[in-house]
Amino acid sequence: TAAEWERHAAWWQDGFTDGADSEYVEQIIPLVAQWLPAAATVLDIGAGDGQIARMAAANGHVSIAVERSESQIAVGCERDAANAGVAAVRWVRGDAVRLPLADDSVDAAVLCLVIEHIEDFEAAFAEVARVLRPGGRMLVLMNHPILQTPNSGWIDDHILEEQYWRIGPYLVETTTSEEVGRDVSLTFHHRPLGRYLNAAADLGLNLTAFIEPAPPSGFLAETPEYSDADTIPRLLLTVHTLAGGR
């Protein structure tokens, strides 16, 4: 919820931004940079402190960040000001299901680790389809909905002498409050992958790429308990292209 993210803004900034998180540094930001179209107007939805929006600006894109949290926007503007020589990010306070942008106004929209926190994700996708220009791209990065289903995880069975990745009840749609840090709990919505892909396709957001990266080396070095599961992706990136015309 909005209140959760406002309350835990400092936790996110300290642990996941400004080079603090290896998955962002080694995997997420490079993947987004790779799949953005050239010379684009880029919209970062649920931007947090704006690290993806700043990357887009640094790479020559016109960059817009939409965020609900005032604390995140304040820190984002401070970090933008310290980014001398890079075009400023345009910050807009708003919500993913009611984007404060005109129709056909951006070339790419990024939802990075956001969609699983949005209750009405179909409305968010519809807003992306509205603001994208024909041929524009939607990039959705999420916790892998199959392999990171609630109650999934690495099992080391010392009795049977077996090791395997357990997958939770994948087809069951759930809303849970998960403890992700000390005194930090966030709301997650789990849905089968088909729900996302079909909802996007119904809006003319056709699947262009489906990327399941292995955990990056920095994450594995920091999380030795995950090392035996280094062939199990934590993240999924889907890239969608909006069909031409309306």
**pLDDT, tens only, 111-126:** 999 999 999 999 999 9
Could you give the dihedral angle defined by the CA atoms of residues 31, 37, 39 and 40, in that order, rounded to the nearest 10 degrees? -90
Helix axes 193-202, 121-131, angle to 10 degrees: 40
**pLDDT, tens only, 230-244:** 899 999 999 999 998
Query: Which tokens in the block code for residue 148?
Result: 């990171």
- Which CATH number characterizes residue 77's domain? 3.40.50.150
Asked, for residue 160, whether it belongs to a domain, the answer is no
Q: In total, how many domains does the chain have?
A: 1
**Considering only CA atoms, which of 176, 202, 195, 197 is closest in space to residue 187?**
176
Q: Is residue 179 scored above 60 in pLDDT?
A: yes
- Better-scored residue on pLDDT, 121 or 180: 121
Q: How far apart are CA 246 and CA 237, in angstroms?
A: 26
Asked, for residue 151, whether it belongs to a domain, the answer is no
Report DSSP state, residue 27. I
pLDDT score recorded for residue 246: 47
Give the contacts of 151 (CB within 8 A, at least 6 positions apart).
Answer: 166, 168, 169
Q: What is the mean pLDDT of residues 173-200?
A: 94
Asked, for residue 152, whether it belongs to a domain, the answer is no
**pLDDT, tens only, 38-61:** 988 999 999 999 999 999 999 999
Give the contacts of 75 (CB within 8 A, at least 6 positions apart).
Answer: 9, 13, 49
Asked, for residue 113, whether it belongs to a domain, the answer is yes
Helix (H, G, I), strand (E, B) or coil at 198: helix
Q: Residue 155's pLDDT band (boundaries 50, 70, 90)? A: confident
Range of the domain at 64: 2-145+188-242
Asked, for residue 96, whether it belongs to a domain, the answer is yes
Could you give the dihedral angle defined by the CA atoms of residues 82, 83, 87 and 93, in that order, rounded to the nearest 10 degrees? -60
Asked, for residue 156, whether it belongs to a domain, the answer is no
Is the CB of residue 209 less than 8 Å from the CB of residue 9? no
Could you give the dihedral angle defined by the CA atoms of residues 21, 25, 27 and 32, in that order, rounded to the nearest 10 degrees? 120
Asked, for residue 181, whether it belongs to a domain, the answer is no
